[in-house]
Amino acid sequence: MDRIVLIGLNHKTAPVEIRERFNVVCVDSKGPLSDLALIRSLRESFYLSTCNRMEVLFTTPRLDEGISAVVGLLAQIYGQTGAALKPYLYTYIDQDAVKHLFRVACSLDSMVVGEPQILGQIKDAYRQATEAKASGVILNRLLHKSFSVAKRVRTETRIGSSAVSISYAAVELAKKIFGELQGKIALLIGAGEMAELAAEHLLNNGVERIVIANRTLERAMALAKRFKGVTVPWEELLEELRKTDIIISSTGSSEPILTSKQVRKRMRARRNRPLFFIDIAVPRDIDPDVNHIDNVYLYNIDDLQGIIEVNRAERIKEAGRAEHIIAAEALKFDAWLRTLEVVPTIVSLREKAEQIREVEVQKTVSQLDSLSKGEIEAIHVLTQSVVRKLLHDPILFLKRISTRSRKDFYLDVARKLFHLDEDQPETEEGEDQLSLDSDKAS
């Protein structure tokens, strides 16, 4: 049976330089999907890249071979040897891979837990995978499942409310400092899900312009395009302090990028007009002492989280509930996965047919009192042979499928055709397609 493998790196395992590298390489092209397809030991593949993570999800019949081939390809993209890349990577197999994907989709693994963008990013990546015909029966099912799990987590827990309200709180604060946001300029340093969300909120609330400073020009340009803003060279960051009003910082730098002294020095030049720093980075980008300067206000992510009423304990509780949903859904998926074997499908097909046959024969016999024992026996023999003959060809067909991917497909079809999975609604495929499109629109 094929194994499901997920290899990836995220903001916890890899520094920003490496994450950006993957992001930049893959931002313009379709990603390494076509290259993944060339790896012979892989059957299905899916590739996701955001500024905080990179994930390769694939199925393979030969586990070790598949993993080393994918790591080799990633190393090639990164321009390093596999050994140099390996410390940053995590590898999950089967159930763990499924759970990890669910956690990512539910935004439990995000830098800002609950931020909503990641699901859209997974959907985009999945669309690319289907367009490239890289995904097959298993990954299609898995990805669709991850969307519905994410939806379930979002409606059943309050995990999503905190991220949105964080950027809402940032905008509210900005309004309490500046009054109107019209004509104000926001500077986005670095990038990240939360920073971009905050920038978008500010823009929607009247901020005139978003200026982008990023160590990687390509990334800066991509963000500038998205926010219709302009880019500034990284080296001129300090000069920008004279013009800008709101600074959203979210770099992966291990050192603070702005010190209190640097900011203080520029306050005179900006005639003490207020400066509002939103420091989303962990570790912090902005020296905490900045908050002591007159007319300068510094909020980091914890401060913002402190404002909104959802407190830490409650967030942990909500995350626990989300994890529970994920574990349950992962088990369900596993159960489905096992049905993709030939024998269980044949068994359940026969069971279902026999069940129907028996019920129908009983109905007839109970209505006809005059039947002798021999006649009843004859009816049983007759119906049994009808069922057997009817099922003979499908069962033979299923047994004879030689290649794995075809087998997955036909087993899946057979189970749907005969409605063998009671818990699955019959129209699921169509609904999933619909939800994919509607999410694209939103």
The contact set with other proteins (CB under 8 A) reads: 173, 175-180, 268, 270-274, 291, 294-295, 297, 299, 303, 306-307
Q: Which of 5, 16, 36, 51 is catalytic?
A: 51
Distance of alpha carbon 246 from alpha carbon 264, whole angstroms: 15
Burial of 322 (0-12, 13-18, 19+ CB in 10 A): buried
174: tokens are 């900005």
200: tokens are 């978008």
Q: Measured between alpha carbons, how far is residue 127 from residues 97, 322, 381 in Å?
A: 20, 26, 51
Q: Which is nearer to other proteins, 294 or 369 (CB)?
A: 294
DSSP state of 309: S
Q: How far is the CB of 14 from other proteins (least distance, A)?
A: 32
Q: Which is nearer to other proteins, 213 or 267 (CB)?
A: 267
Q: How far is the CB of 171 from other proteins (least distance, A)?
A: 12
Q: Which is nearer to other proteins, 7 or 290 (CB)?
A: 290
* CB of 207 closer than 8 Å to CB of 186: yes
Q: Which is nearer to other proteins, 293 or 325 (CB)?
A: 293
DSSP H or E run through 439: helix 428-441
Q: Which one, of 71, 50, 52, lies nearest residue 5 by Cα?
A: 71
Distance of alpha carbon 340 from alpha carbon 137, whole angstroms: 10
Q: How far is the CB of 31 from other proteins (least distance, A)?
A: 42
Distance of alpha carbon 315 from alpha carbon 353, whole angstroms: 49
* CB of 8 closer than 8 Å to CB of 90: yes
Q: Which is nearer to other proteins, 206 or 394 (CB)?
A: 206
Instruction: Check if 51 is active-site.
Output: yes
DSSP state of 2: P
Q: How far is the CB of 162 from other proteins (least distance, A)?
A: 17
Q: Which is nearer to other proteins, 297 or 410 (CB)?
A: 297
Q: How far is the CB of 250 from other proteins (least distance, A)?
A: 19
Q: Which is nearer to other proteins, 87 or 179 (CB)?
A: 179
278: tokens are 């939103």
Residue 209: beta bridge partners?
A: 185
Q: Who contacts 386 (Cβ-Cβ below 8 Å, separation ≥6)?
A: none
151: tokens are 């939806």
Burial of 432 (0-12, 13-18, 19+ CB in 10 A): middle
Q: How far is the CB of 160 from other proteins (least distance, A)?
A: 23
Q: Which one, of 228, 195, 198, 235, lies nearest residue 211 by Cα?
A: 228
Q: How far is the CB of 214 from other proteins (least distance, A)?
A: 28
What are the catalytic residues? 51
